């Protein structure tokens, strides 16, 4: 069964074990709505990744607009519509995500670092923003952190999936970075380019690390259970990046993943990060009550 065609829980469990694992720490309502949002994202992503055409994209957009307007739509879209209605999530966010998928469908070339940041925002930063609504974050303070966290995870994804993306005819590395390293894009995965290609991977991960740190600063503006879940998810994704760096150029040969036992350790790391922010949480609560 295609993960995106399944019920929300099965969709996230099959589509992303890391996100599913972290989502178990949400409250029941937040967890359910998170899964519905993920199912819609996964469905759209899978459809575009599997040879999606301009017509596919239009169909996805029309069904998304129908769901957001409260009209009849397939389950994957209906779930999104219900979530956006419940939390008053601006329509611009899911539509921004579809703009990112449109770039995927037409093989958009990322020319420089600014375009990389724009793409990461469209396909991941906006998801972080939508999640901040679902988690009842203090949006006036958490908005930038939510976007940074989403972007950081996307940059980690790009670093992890360089070979897999290239096999599908896609390159998400800025052309200016490739030029700096004298890498020929049509021979991206050739052995003689492994060292400079890994340097670009490291460049992505260093940029992601800066964004993770900014994202961690926003955890204090989330309810406690949501803060635990986001912190754990970030720990797992950040660990993927660290594993890539430890493995070196050999990381380009196969997909890097985090084992179940490694995730158990990262749960403690994520929880500890939030608990260490307790003094800041108490100060915010005290000031808000004054």
Question: E strands of the chain, at which residues?
Answer: none
The tokens of 28 are what?
């029941």
Q: What is the 3-state secondary structure (H, E, C) of 192-224?
A: HHHHHHHHHHHHHHHHHHHHHHHHHCCHHHCCH
Which one, of 99, 142, 89, lies nearest residue 120 by Cα?
A: 99
The tokens of 49 are what?
């990744």
Taking the CA of residue 248 as centre, how many other CA atoms within 13 Å lie in the half-sphere pointing to its CB?
1
Cα–Cα dist 127/94, whole Å? 8
Give pLDDT tens digits along the chain (290 positions).
444 456 888 888 888 888 898 999 999 999 999 999 999 999 999 998 887 788 899 999 999 999 999 999 999 999 999 999 999 999 999 999 999 999 988 888 999 999 999 999 999 999 999 999 999 999 888 999 999 999 999 999 999 999 999 998 899 999 999 999 999 999 999 999 999 999 999 999 999 999 999 999 999 999 999 999 999 999 999 999 999 999 999 999 999 999 999 999 999 999 999 999 999 998 887 766 54
Report which DSSP code applies to 24.
T
Angle at 9 between CA 160 and CA 266, to 5 degrees: 45
Report which DSSP code applies to 249.
G
The full set of domain ranges for the chain reads 1-89, 109-290
Q: What is the pTM of this model?
A: 0.93
The tokens of 17 are what?
């074990």
Query: Which CATH superfamily, name and number, covers 109-290?
Result: Farnesyl Diphosphate Synthase (1.10.600.10)
């Amino acid at each position: 069964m295609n993960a995106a065609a399944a019920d929300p829980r099965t969709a996230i469990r099959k589509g992303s074990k890391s996100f599913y694992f972290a989502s178990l720490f949400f409250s029941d309502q937040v967890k359910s709505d998170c899964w519905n949002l993920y199912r819609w994202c996964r469905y759209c992503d899978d459809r575009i990744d599997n040879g999606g055409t301009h017509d596919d994209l239009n169909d996805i957009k029309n069904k998304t607009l129908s769901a957001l307007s409260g009209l009849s739509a397939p389950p994957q879209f209906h779930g999104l519509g219900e979530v956006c209605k419940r939390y008053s999530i601006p329509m611009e966010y899911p539509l921004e995500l579809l703009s990112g998928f449109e770039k995927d469908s037409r093989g958009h070339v990322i020319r420089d670092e600014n375009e990389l940041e724009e793409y990461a925002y469209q396909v991941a930063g906006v998801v972080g923003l939508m999640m901040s609504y679902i988690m009842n974050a203090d949006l006036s303070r958490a908005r930038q952190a939510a976007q940074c966290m989403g972007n950081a995870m996307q940059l980690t994804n790009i670093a992890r999936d360089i070979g897999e993306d290239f096999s599908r005819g896609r390159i998400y590395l800025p052309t200016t970075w490739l030029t700096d390293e004298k890498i020929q894009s049509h021979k991206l995965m050739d052995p003689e380019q492994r060292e400079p290609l890994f340097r670009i991977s490291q460049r992505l991960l260093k940029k992601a690390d800066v964004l993770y740190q900014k994202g961690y600063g926003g955890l204090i503006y989330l309810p406690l259970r949501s803060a635990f879940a986001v912190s754990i998810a970030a720990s797992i994704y950040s660990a993927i990046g660290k594993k890539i760096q430890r493995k070196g150029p050999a990381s380009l040969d196969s997909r890097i993943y985090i084992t179940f036992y490694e995730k158990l350790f990262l749960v403690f790391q994520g929880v500890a990060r939030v608990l260490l922010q307790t003094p800041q949480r108490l100060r915010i609560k005290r000031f808000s009550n004054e």
